[in-house]
Amino acid sequence: MNPPFHLAFPVTDLEATRTFYADLVGCEVGRSAERWIDFNFFGHQISAHLVDGGLPDGPTNEVDGKKVPVQHFGAIVDLETWHELADRFQAAGREFIIEPYIRFQGEVGEQATMFLLDPSGNALEFKAFEDESQIFAK
């Protein structure tokens, strides 16, 4: 097993963040304080830190004909979980930056992917590979 990573990221509303990551994404809530919350993000620790003011829009790069936010994080999950997340986000009326679809179809690195924003505007990508050997394929 690989060691879990830790990621700290800015948010503008802790309660909306807690609701999004715990109730919608399904993350277990860890420690918290007045200005931060830890979540178990698919076995990894992410820490939402409250900042004053909004977050700036960031640059994008074109990937497979889509404008992908350069600054983003997410998780690689199994296909069943990916479909469950997509269904959950759609049922909750969440708007996607990039709708769920199969990227690089029939090519090396084929993957299911989707992008959306959390309540503070942080870009998230969730992806899945039918063939996990394609995760680092060249």
Helix, strand, coil distribution of the chain in percent, nearest 5? 20, 45, 35
The token pair at 19 is 């609701």
For 32, other C-beta atoms within 10 Å of its C-beta total: 14
60-134 classified as CATH 3.40.50.2300: no
Give yes or no for a contact between 124 and 116, defined as CB atoms under 8 angstroms apart. yes
pTM for this one? 0.91
d(CA 95, CA 117): 8
Please check whether residue 134 is in contact with residue 111, taking contact to mean a CB–CB distance below 8 angstroms.
yes
Q: Do domains 6-50 and 60-134 have the same CATH topology?
A: yes
6-50 placed in CATH 3.40.50.450: no
- Domain ranges (residues) in the chain: 6-50, 60-134
Q: How is residue 105 written in tokens?
A: 């179809």
Q: What is the pLDDT along the chain (138 residues), one digit of tens a residue?
A: 689 999 999 999 999 999 999 999 999 999 999 999 999 999 999 999 999 988 877 889 999 888 998 999 999 999 999 999 999 999 999 999 999 999 999 889 899 999 999 999 999 999 999 988 889 988
